[in-house]
Amino acid sequence: MEYPVVPGQESPSPDPQHEWQQQLAHLPQQLQEQINEHIEALEELVIGYDPFDLIGSLFCKNALADATLSRVQEDRNDAFTEYLTLLLLTQPSEVYPEQTNKDLPEDVLSRIEDHVQAIFRDTALTVMFRDTDSVATQSEPPDPWDRLRGQMVMRSITVRYPIYHHHLREVLAGLFAPLDRELTALLGFTIGEALNLINAVASLMIERLEARLQEAKRLAKELTKRVEIYRHQTSRQQRQYRSVKLESEREQTIRRLASLRPRDATRALEAMKPYWTRRAAGTTFSFTQEDLVQRTQLSPDCVRAFLERMSLRFGDVEPAYFRRPAPSHPLMTRPFIERNGHYLCPVLPQAYRSLRPALETFLNPGLPGAVNTNRSLWERYNKRLRANYLEEQAITYLCHALRHAQGYRGLIYYVGPQRQQVELDGMVIADSTLFLVEAKAGTLSPGGQRGAPQSLRTDLRRIIGEASAQLRRAAEYIHTTDYPIFTLSDGTEITVPMRQVRHIFLVSVTLDSFDALVTNLAQYAETDLFSPDTLPWAISLTDLRVISEMVEYSSQFVHYLLRRQKINEIKGTQIQAFEELDLFGNYLKEGLYFDDVVAESDAPNLMQLADYASQFDAFYLALDSQGQSQQDIPRPVQSIPPPLRDILQELEDQHPAGYLDAGCTLLDLSGHARASFIETIETQRQRTLMDSGFHDFSAPIKAAETGITCMFALRTNALELHERLVNHSMHKMQEHSSKQWVGLGFLVDAPRLLNSCLIFDSDRRI
């Protein structure tokens, strides 16, 4: 870059910051041009091949990758397969050749994948740098709504299926089974029949994939033998063989493999297996209506209705909108493609995931593509069935995580001088914890799914913002009322036991996943969706289910939420996660503990958590594929020494008053502290058995402003043990200026080791 020279002055030095800003200002246009070049090259590349072969080849590759349980593979993504399918569907069927035996060369498939990956890469950069004009001109920083919109759009484009299959199937059945009669009349099939048909498609395609894999193994084994025979022939026999017979493709392959060293030949054969597996993929993995009738024993009319409603044909996709990756697209509601009476499912998980948006589109008279014209039917589903299902399941999962909890739904209470009646979806009381629950079953509008700014704001205020405001109002009522009372629909009054409540959690449960927002709420406090000082725990129903199934103890669930809240309180460093299960996975593996990192002088401004959710992927994939119960498959658990597990389990089984706080205090111990704690327990236990006296030790936990006293005695001294434990624990709490103290009494000669559990909170005892 040249700079003007002012007479009488030296040439100014180039300003690197200015150059960088100028380059940044031109980046979006450059990216758009690159995307267009890749799309044009991709369209030219694919036009000479059977589209079913192209799509079937990517299905095959992705299915083989899924079988390895590998979560992160940059060269494959279901979004890539969907995008290529959509691009192919923008052209009418006549553009492509009829099904032939023409092979799809490996290098052509690789070039296709390279272009698709480049398109997604540049699209992601475009979203990231969409506000570069303001950066280049040094204007105000981007609006937090714009940042949130970018995050949500990017996740919609690239991230697929944040839900496990058997969970999704149960959700679908729960939502739509009450409408079986109406769905049959409107569409020609019920939700059970739709799931049955998708299961049939999945099993058919996977069986054919496994058959091709076995055939590839058989062929590799046969070629290995033929290569050995060829190697043992004399040079003269080999020359005579080639001279008297025109070599076939297989014979050429044998000769090439025989020319390699044995180890290299083995590697070459392994590399050839995927190619053999996906040859003629369009023919192999496609199916007909008759195939599904035979496999499901459903009526031809039912199968035909389902396929017609749920399928796209070549030319159905509008090129103006879907030549580029899009956050919402037709495959999200019509996951099958049809050509000449044959059908193909590009991405099997999408078939399951498409059912809810497809059925809701058919049922909603206000949407294009609706089949139903009865507004009351839609209102019945939208206002009653969907909302009631979400509320009921949310309370069920919370009570499952909190083993001895009491859950309530549909509560009302009165606020203000005029005693205005307001509602609360749910409440769960467990020991010293209170959960206030709002369930929002709404989904993003078509505009919100596309990332239209105003639509997205309206949708998120309706789904996330309203829940936050309702939870904040309920919490304020509880904090400002001496005896907060809630009334159930049958008139039963529930009085919140505020004397025992130490923790109040605000829980917003959604039917859809909003991970881009809810895992990073503190970063978007300026969006006015919620109050920064009362951030709710916003979570999707299916993530709540996973966590409720994974926690081993009620106290572990509460402890996770307490650690989860700490993230919002960290100043200076933002802790960012891709999804809630990454946060929970980090908790199981590392405790969700960042205090030491952010306390350092050179702490980073942003910490992006790695992939911690894959441990749950592996568990549920094994569960789903093997059809076993959860007890049969090892699940991800926190590393806890066995003796400490015994204490946590006794607290859980006995659930005395304060047992959740006691468990949380034990879980606050670091790995080293846990080992030392257990070792000291065993030492004091042995001393008590030897001299029949009283023994104790205390462990302050300064970071949590709490501590533990453990006291040991024989059964004959049980009453005195309790009195001593009270006095000693109170003394230790004052000595260490702690806000809370836990006292645990152990009878060393009793079948049940734990005898007493006392919680001291400031000057009161629970």
Q: Dmax over Cα atoms in the chain, in whole Å?
A: 107
Instruction: Tell me: do 114 and 92 sit in the same domain.
Output: yes
- Flag whether 271 is in a domain: no
> Dihedral of the CA atoms 545, 547, 549, 551 (nearest 10)?
-160
3-class DSSP state of 537: strand
- Determine the Cα angle at 125 with ends 139 and 325, to 5°: 125
- pTM tops 0.85: yes
Tokens of 237: 């026999």
Can you count the helices (H) and strands (E) in the chain? 32, 17
Instruction: Tell me: do 628 and 651 sit in the same domain.
Output: no
pLDDT value of residue 329: 92
Instruction: Tell me: do 626 and 689 sit in the same domain.
Output: no
d(CA 715, CA 233): 87
Residue 153: domain span? 24-164
Q: CA–CA distance from 254 to each of 70, 224, 225, 242 (Å)?
A: 33, 8, 10, 12
- Flag whether 270 is in a domain: no
**DSSP assigned state of 601:** T
Tokens of 277: 């597996």
Length in residues, the chain: 766
- Count CA within 13 A, CB hemisphere, residue 394: 32
The answer to whether the beta carbons of residues 709 and 732 sit under 8 Å apart is yes
Nearest to 701 by CA among 677, 726, 724, 731: 677
Domains held by the chain: number: 3
Instruction: Tell me: do 395 and 525 sit in the same domain.
Output: yes
Last residue of a domain, one of 142, 164, 186: 164
The answer to whether the beta carbons of residues 759 and 729 sit under 8 Å apart is no
Instruction: Tell me: do 663 and 739 sit in the same domain.
Output: yes
For 719, other C-beta atoms within 10 Å of its C-beta total 9
3-class DSSP state of 101: coil
- Flag whether 500 is in a domain: yes
Instruction: Tell me: do 526 and 589 sit in the same domain.
Output: yes
CA 51 to chain CA mean position, Å = 31
Tokens of 689: 């058995």
Phi and psi dihedrals of 518, rounded to 5?
Answer: -70, -25
Instruction: Tell me: do 712 and 685 sit in the same domain.
Output: yes
- Give the dihedral sign, CA 341/347/349/353: negative
3-class DSSP state of 13: coil
Last residue of a domain, one of 571, 599, 632: 632
- Flag whether 269 is in a domain: no
Instruction: Tell me: do 611 and 656 sit in the same domain.
Output: no
> Dihedral of the CA atoms 526, 528, 532, 535 (nearest 10)?
-130
For 680, other C-beta atoms within 10 Å of its C-beta total 13
d(CA 13, CA 760): 68
Instruction: Tell me: do 127 and 57 sit in the same domain.
Output: yes
d(CA 406, CA 2): 74
pLDDT value of residue 21: 59
Nearest to 284 by CA among 514, 568, 55: 55
Instruction: Tell me: do 467 and 568 sit in the same domain.
Output: yes
d(CA 467, CA 419): 21
Listed in sequence order, the residues at least 6 apart from 26 whose beta carbon sits closer than 8 Å to its beta carbon are none
Last residue of a domain, one of 148, 164, 180: 164
Tokens of 136: 């280049």
Instruction: Tell me: do 656 and 623 sit in the same domain.
Output: no
Nearest to 154 by CA among 121, 117, 112, 116: 121
Instruction: Please report where in the chains the tokens 């059925």 appear, as a residue.
Output: 359
- Count CA within 13 A, CB hemisphere, residue 683: 8
DSSP 272-330: HHHHHHHTTHHHHH-B-HHHHHHHH---HHHHHHHHHHHEEETT-S-HHHHSS--SS-G
Instruction: Tell me: do 572 and 610 sit in the same domain.
Output: yes
- Flag whether 99 is in a domain: yes
Tokens of 135: 């950066």
**DSSP assigned state of 233:** S
- Flag whether 743 is in a domain: yes
- Flag whether 277 is in a domain: no
- Flag whether 552 is in a domain: yes
Segments of the chain with pLDDT less than 70 = 1-25, 64-76, 99-102, 130-142, 160-162, 234-249, 572-573, 597-603, 624-632, 762-766
Which letter, b or e, does each residue of 498-517 get, where b requires 16 or more Cβ atoms within 10 Å of its Cβ?
eebebbbbbbbbbbbbbbbb
